[in-house]
Amino acid sequence: MTQIMEGSHAVAEAVRLSKPGVISAYPITPQTHIVERLAEMVADGLLEADYITVESEFSALSACLGASATGVRVYSATTSQGLALMFEVCFNAAGMRLPLVMTIANRALSAPLSIWNDHQDSISLRDSGWLQLYAQDCQEAHDLHYIAYRVAEDHSVLLPAMVCFDGFVLTHTYEPVDIPGQEEVDAFLPAFSPYQRLDARDPISFGMYATPDYYMEFRYEMERAMQRAKGVLKECGKEFGERFGRDYSDLVESYRLEDADTALVAMGSLCGTVKDAIDEMRGEGKKVGLLNLRVFRPFPFEDVKKALSGVSRVAILDKNVSIGSKGAVGLEMRDTLYGTGIEILDCIAGLGGRDIRKRDVRRIVGLAEAGGGDIFYGLREEVL
Amino acid sequence: MTLSVGCTARPGKSRENRTGAWRTFKPNFKHDKCTKCGICALICPESAVHENQDGFYDADYNYCKGCGLCAEECPAEDIEMTREEK
């Protein structure tokens, strides 16, 4: 049934319908409304889960990790500083191959303190072994949770997953969201079937040490699982489309790229603005299109290369920066497109909640056509 | 050995993992001035020192890492650490 609801509540509904047995989270802006709503659902008896209250994000994810090891579906949500505090646990959960699902309400990292949106928080954990999916609207934020659970828990993957959606821009925005019924969700997402679990009658330990003779092979197995996740994501995305009418069988979304000369590359809610700008420019005869990276980990090298095979230049909107280098998306794109001759412009843009408007997208297309070098786009030179 | 998913381990791995290979210095229990006080067995961090049938003490070299605490603490100075050539 389609309802008008806040993005955070759309996510909470997806979590309720996914039936996690344990939820542990620590409230932090702009994630708060998700976990507040879940706490209400548990208190009201709408969701049969243990809601473990903790004193920090480190403890929240640790509680989820331990619960997952006992063989139960778990959920957490955080953002920014909270995710930074989870850093160690993130790597452990992935290495222990525990299929946690966590929502990231994307927000800038301190300092300076900012509660506004960019992608620095989740991007900074791109090496942690978690799948990373980026939603462009509230409906996608809702849908991607079911897919995240399915893929993470698949025994050929067994890696945790982050569903990332933009803080405030989506978390606090009301949109129509189609909420499926419990039976439909159950048919797509069956009860969690753990690969292995803690059991006092048949004891095992998770995440034991590995000497230099074995460590690399453990990491390589994670990489292989991440590569297998691409196929599982496509299969589950296709099945989701067949069941619910919204297809996620592609790891990337191509918008008006068929005959495009210039491709914009973006992630998350920004894609909506970019599409509007593209429609305007198309009306003026400019051949532009968008590549929306819905999946950032595993990085869909082959899919990106295929989608961009016809373009002459690419302009990347990077809502993050690796200080001392470039934007994370830009670096991946340069690797993917190396040797193709496609020109690349990497724009660091929209950090700390700076709006990226249609006119900015148009200017960035102009910059790409002019062949300029990588930039921080839209800097206020007067304050520098 | 094949890798376990999630680096899991079942009980008994400490027994399988013969840490004696880490040893550089080996304790020799001389049973000469030994008073059978048992401090060597008590102090051993690996519980690798055991009483033998005659009431003297010996190390289990499969697990003794050669830390030398037994020799250091022996009141009779009857345990000698010698470099082990491999």
How many Å apart are CA A357 and CA A100, to the nearest integer?
Answer: 35
pLDDT greater than 80 at residue A309: yes
pLDDT recorded at residue B2: 80
Q: Between residues 153 and 172 of chain A, which touch chain B (CB distance below 8 Å)?
A: 158
Which tokens go with A119?
């992608």
B25 within a domain of the structure (yes/no):
yes
In a domain, B49, yes or no: yes
Distances (CA, A) of A158 to A23, A36, A205, B57: 19, 28, 17, 49
- A171: nearest Cα among A142, A133, A148, A145: A142
Give chain A's end-to-end CA distance (angstroms, integer): 51
* Averaged confidence pLDDT in chain A: 98
Name beta bridge partners: B50.
Answer: B58
Q: Is B15 on the interface with A (CB under 8 A)?
A: no
Taking a C-beta distance cutoff of 8 angstroms, is the pair A325, A346 a contact? no
Mean pLDDT of A109-117: 98
B3 close to A (CB below 8 A) = yes
CB contact under 8 A, B3 and A98: no
Whether B62 maps to a domain, the answer reads yes
* CATH of span A252-383: 3.40.50.920
CA distance A56 to A61: 9
- pLDDT score at A224: 98
Interchain proximity B5–A203, CB inside 8 Å: no
Provide the residue range defining the domain that includes B34.
Answer: 21-83
Number of domains in chain B: 1
- Decide if A263 contacts A314 (C-beta within 8 A): yes
Q: What amino acid is encoded at A301 in this protein?
A: F
pLDDT at B12 over 90: no
Please name the residue ranges forming H helices in A131-265.
138-153, 182-188, 215-244
**Which fold does the domain A2-244 belong to in CATH?**
Rossmann fold (3.40.50)
Closest to B76 in 3D by CA, of B51, B23, B39 = B39
**CATH number for the domain that contains residue B25:** 3.30.70.20
The overall longest dimension of chain A from CA atoms, in Å, is 70
Q: How far is A368 from chain B (nearest CA, A)?
A: 45
Residue B5 lies in a domain: no
Per-residue pLDDT at A79? 98
- CB-CB under 8 Å, B11 with A158: no
A205 touches chain B (CB under 8 A): yes
User: What's the one-letter identity of residue A328?
Assistant: A
Residues 6+ apart with CB under 8 A from A262: A286, A287, A288, A289, A311, A312, A313, A314, A315, A365, A368, A369
> Where does CATH 3.40.50.970 sit in chain A?
2-244
Residues of chain A with CATH 3.40.50.920: 252-383
A211 and B CB contact within 8 Å: no
Which amino acid, A137? D
Residue B33 lies in a domain: yes
Q: Do A208 and B10 touch (CB under 8 A)?
A: no
Q: What are phi and psi of A153, to 5 degrees?
A: -85, -10
Calpha distance A267→A291 (Å, rounded): 9
Res B1: pLDDT: 63
Nearest CA in chain B to A203: B10
> What value does the mean pLDDT take over residues A312-318?
98
Give A97→chain B minimum CA distance, Å.
5
Residues of B in contact with A209 (CB under 8 A): 7
* Percent residues over pLDDT 70 in chain A: 100
- pLDDT tens digits along B52-70: 999 999 999 999 999 999 9
Binary contact (A207, B6; C-beta < 8 A): yes
> pLDDT tier at B15 (50, 70, 90 boundaries)?
confident
B78 domain residue, yes or no = yes
Mean pLDDT of A305-320: 98
Instruction: State percent of chain B over pLDDT 90.
Output: 81
Q: What is the DSSP letter of B22?
A: G
Tell me if A96 and B13 make a contact (CB, 8 A cut-off): no
Are A204 and B3 an interchain contact pair (Cβ–Cβ within 8 Å)? no
DSSP of A72-119, one letter per residue?
A: --EEEEE-HHHHHHTHHHHHHHHHTT---EEEEEE-PPSSSP--S--S
* Contact pairs from chain A to chain B, CB under 8 Å: 41
Tell me, yes or no, whether B14 lies in a domain: no
Per-residue pLDDT at B75 exceeds 90: yes
User: Residue A296 is encoded by which pair of tokens?
Assistant: 């950032």
| CA A30 vs CA A170, A187, B80: distances in Å | 10, 32, 65
DSSP 8-state code for residue A208: -
